[in-house]
Amino acid sequence: CDGIDLWRTDHAAKGEEGVFSLPLYGGEVVKIIKGHSASTPLFMFVALQAMHSPVPSSSLYGDGFGPHGLEEFMTPYAQYGDGFSVGNGLISNADHVLGEAVEALKAKDMWKNTLLVHTSDNGASVAPIGQEVRGTNFPLRGGKNTNFEGGVRVPAFVAGGALPASK
């Protein structure tokens, strides 16, 4: 693709080509929180597409497996093979991005008024397609691209200081 299909508010995000999305989005989330007035409500929808299978042909992959900068998150899973370490490294990196956002909210004294909703868009992929990041939906039947419970029931949680303590 010769064009740029990544936008920063109202203009193309030129200069961001070849940057892996997790640190890019994570940095943007923290920047927005830090620059926001704690006295004004803030709604933020963040869709981290990082759990999708990596594309090894991308310029983001120096050794052909795993984005640059993901190595520290992949290392704990290295003994289980490349596909497993990349998939779980992506999840661990997304957890790190979420943690940085929460810390930024706490530092701005915004956490006490925050309702955080965290969910996935579908169950894990269980189809054997090349180096696709694998997962398991056990004990549920099916997975991504199915209407079985394994494809539509996903882990989710709510958190934040806006939740009543009894919940």
pLDDT tens-digit readout, 17-64: 777 788 889 999 999 999 999 999 999 999 887 776 555 444 444 444
pLDDT tens, 77-100? 888 877 778 878 888 999 999 999
Give the pLDDT confidence score for residue 91 in this predicted structure: 87
Q: For residues 104 and 33, is the Cβ–Cβ distance under 8 A? A: yes
Task: Give Cβ neighbours of residue 92 (< 8 Å, ≥ 6 apart).
Answer: 73, 76
Give the pLDDT confidence score for residue 9 in this predicted structure: 80
Q: Mean pLDDT throughout 155-165?
A: 90
pTM for the predicted model, two decimal places: 0.81
